[in-house]
Amino acid sequence: MNDRIVRIRLVQIALVGAALLSMRRFGLLDLSEIWPAARRLGEFASSLLPPNTEILPTLFEAMLETMEIAFVGTVLGFVMALPLAVLGTRTVFGPRVTVPVRLLVGAIRTVPSLLWAVIFVVGFGLGPAAGALGVAMYSVGYLCKLLYEAFEGMDAEVVEAVRGAGANRLQVVNFAVLPEATNAVLSQLLFMFEYNIRASSIMGFVGAGGIGYYMLGYLQLLQYQNLMTALLLTFVVVIAVDYSSAVLRSLAAPGQKRAHVPLLAGLTPP
């Protein structure tokens, strides 16, 4: 057994040991705590059924607002993230530009989406505007990272060829980086929208609109059957968005014929 394999085994043992130690500290290895917790969870799960379909008209309107929050937040986030991602691309700009940009993006990404929503609720008051801005800022942090990694992962020879023809940085971005990375940009944008549907569903917990407002109310009032209805509606919408995104990605892929996309494309491996 060589030294590399020994080091890998030692790292694996250390990670497993650390995980077991943390689980022990949290009481996750104590059966006297686990069984009562499992019983309580079972009782909670049974109280969720059957879903109350009478509240669907109200939830449909709230779900539409949630989708609007996700859509507006994704669009605003993309508009802000794209130029930052270009400035953070090391194959186009030097460290004097990329390092500060990446630090800024890292700082934005550090703040959770709910905290961004709280910040904008303070500024804009309760309602979907705060939720959309909170989603937008959260999207900037993650979209920017995904995009500049996609830009750096493209064929460097294309960039060098355009640069060798005398193009400046703006022309390199316009004629090399963006055209080559179009499909990656579209894929990441659709992924962010899918994620933001889920994130927007809990924006109502802090007064930022959407179906989360009703979810929080149902939890506080112990109306678990209503909560189950809201969760199922959110699940159906997420599956529909996943499917639509898969269709759009299949249509946007160059050189490929339109293929049949499984209904559960968002949940199945490629």
Q: For residue range 66-90, what is the model confidence (pLDDT) as tens digits?
A: 888 889 999 999 999 988 988 888 8
Higher pLDDT, 231 or 28: 231
Instruction: Give the mean model confidence (pLDDT) for residues 86-106.
Output: 86
Neighbours of 64 (CB within 10 A): 13
What fold does the segment set 67-211 form as a domain? MetI-like fold (1.10.3720)
CA atoms within 13 A on the CB side of 202: 10
Question: Is there a contact between 203 and 126 (Cβ–Cβ < 8 Å)?
Answer: no
For the whole model, what pTM was predicted? 0.75
Dihedral angle sign, alpha carbons of residues 110, 116, 118, 120: positive
H-type alpha helices, the chain: 3-25, 31-47, 56-87, 95-110, 113-124, 128-152, 156-164, 169-172, 178-180, 182-200, 212-220, 224-252
So what's the pLDDT on residue 197?
Answer: 85
Q: For residue range 105-151, what is the model confidence (pLDDT) as tens digits?
A: 889 888 888 888 888 888 888 888 888 888 899 899 888 888 888 88
Locate the domains of the chain by residue range: 67-211
Helix axis angle, 56-87 relative to 128-152, nearest 10°? 40
Q: What single-letter DSSP state applies at residue 203?
A: G
Question: Is there a contact between 233 and 164 (Cβ–Cβ < 8 Å)?
Answer: no
Q: Which residue is it, tokens 């043992």? A: 13
Q: For residue range 204-215, what is the model confidence (pLDDT) as tens digits?
A: 777 777 888 888
